[in-house]
Chains A and B, each alone.
Chain A
Amino acid sequence: MKASTPTRWNLFSLLLVILASDAASQTAHHLTSEELRSDLRSVIILAGYPCNSVAVFTNPGPSDYHVSCDADRLYRVHVSEEKGIVVENRSDPEGAASEADADHDAFMRRQLFAIVSLAGHECGRVVHHEVRGTRDRIVTCEDQTTYRVHVTPEGRVEVDRHLITK
């Protein structure tokens, strides 16, 4: 790796934080409430936490949001200079909904959780997944609901309830 790479990355990280702060401070002024809710919901899900819809949010400081999802889940979303975007589970600080990407399977489960949740389906966490074909998977959530996640010829990702036939 070239010696200049860390410096380049540090500069880009700094740029991102500056732009993030700027953009986050502008969001309250330029984005509609619905757009901001959608952004916050996506970020929470991408971090591995469930959030079907954002009920209420407050913006106590620049780049800092306190979010209530589905009436009983509280999160704090903020921008950290060190970590980038940070989502804290305020309802259950010890909760392990957001699995660390310790290994390949943990990474895949978190990604598939995000895909299923972003498509509008409830899935506390993914407990099992298997390949069914090219870009075609079966995903099992913790409540044992199974979904088929596949790509259509048009390039869309479809997430459908899947009934297992034995």
Chain B
Amino acid sequence: MKPRVLLWIALLSLSSPVFAQQSGSVDSDSGEDFNLEALVDRISHSKALGFLTKLSLKLDIDGFLKMIREYHDKGGGEDSLEQLHERYDVMVHKLVVLLQDKDEELVKSIDDGRDKLWAMLADAKKFAGM
């Protein structure tokens, strides 16, 4: 795997055991395919984000995924699932604000996939089985 791709997988915390085994397409509830790997690859090649910005985003995403993992492991956490969803939404907002004036197509793809990715994160079985 190219270091750049590897980096982005790390940046988006998709390197966890949960995501490491994830192949390209995921069947969503609606039956549509959601190609997470392709989306990550496009973000990795987007020049709209500087490297330091990517590193900063990674820290937030790391913390968020840790909370999701704890929520599922313990059957609850400091934040409710609704609050975790709020965190997820504003973090996606932030990514979109950073990208939207420079990579409009990527923003559209993120918008298309955001609910599908949340559905995967919020469901303990999907999260554990991915």
Contact = CB atoms under 8 A, between A and B. Distances in A.
A6 to B, nearest CB: 12
A116 B108 CA distance: 20
A151 B93 contact: yes
B107 interface: yes
B94 A85 contact: no
Contacts of A19: 3, 7
A70 interface: no
B93 A111 contact: yes
How large, as a class, is the contact surface on chain B?
35 or more
B41 interface: no
B90 A20 contact: no
Interface residues of A, number: 46
A84 B17 CA distance: 21
B90 A112 contact: yes
Q: Is the interface of B mostly helix, strand, loop or mixed?
A: helix
Residue among A5, A77, A107, A149 with the highest chain B CB neighbour number at 10 A: A107
Nearest to A65: B52
A114 B93 CA distance: 10
A60 interface: no
Contacts of A15: 6-7, 10
A50 B100 CA distance: 21
Given A8-B15, A38-B50, A84 B111 contact: no
A115 B97 contact: yes
Interface in A1-19: 1-2, 4-5, 8, 12, 15-16, 19
A101 B60 CA distance: 10
Interface string A12-44: 100110011001100100010001101110110
B122 interface: no
A16 B50 contact: no
A156 B50 contact: no
